[in-house]
Amino acid sequence: MLAHYLELNHKKKEVETELEELKKVFNNYFDLSVGKNAKGEMILRDYKIQRQIRDTVKFKQEQTVKRLEELNLIELIQKKPDEGKIKSAIQLGLLHEEDLEGCKTVNSSQAIYVKYLPTR
């Protein structure tokens, strides 16, 4: 069982490496055809490939804490900005997006999905 486990783990690493290389190729294709960080899709025979873009927004700790202190919204701070409470405060109108100008960073990640579409 141990030998089999090691063999499978080695194969897993090889497969993951190959999948990462294919994802790079697919992302390069979409970068050229629809633009960087743009979603897209293509159907090729019985397969459909999609690229989705996910944005992750994070608040910069020092700037956000300072700004919330200036706005006298201390209850929104827990040694670091409480993103859930900040979003709630924005939804309730207690805080405005522009009040936190320069306090956020946005990270984007790319996701590739491949589906088999049987011939109709």
Containing H/E element for 21? helix 2-33
Q: Shortest CA distance to 81 belongs to which of 108, 62, 102, 105?
A: 62
Nearest-angstrom CA–CA distance, 34 and 37: 9
Is the pTM higher than 0.85? The answer reads no
Q: Shortest CA distance to 86 belongs to which of 58, 114, 53, 116?
A: 58
Confirm if 90 and 39 have CB atoms less than 8 A apart: no
Block residue for tokens 């020092």: 62
| Structure tokens that stand for 30 in this block | 């979409």
The CA-CA-CA angle for residues 11, 27, 115, to 5°, reads 65
Averaged pLDDT score across all residues of the chain: 90
Indicate the pLDDT class of residue 5, thresholds 50, 70 and 90: confident
Report whether pLDDT(80) > 80.
no
Report whether pLDDT(113) > 90.
no
Report whether pLDDT(120) > 80.
no
| Structure tokens that stand for 106 in this block | 């946005």
Block residue for tokens 């993103």: 83
Block residue for tokens 């701070």: 77
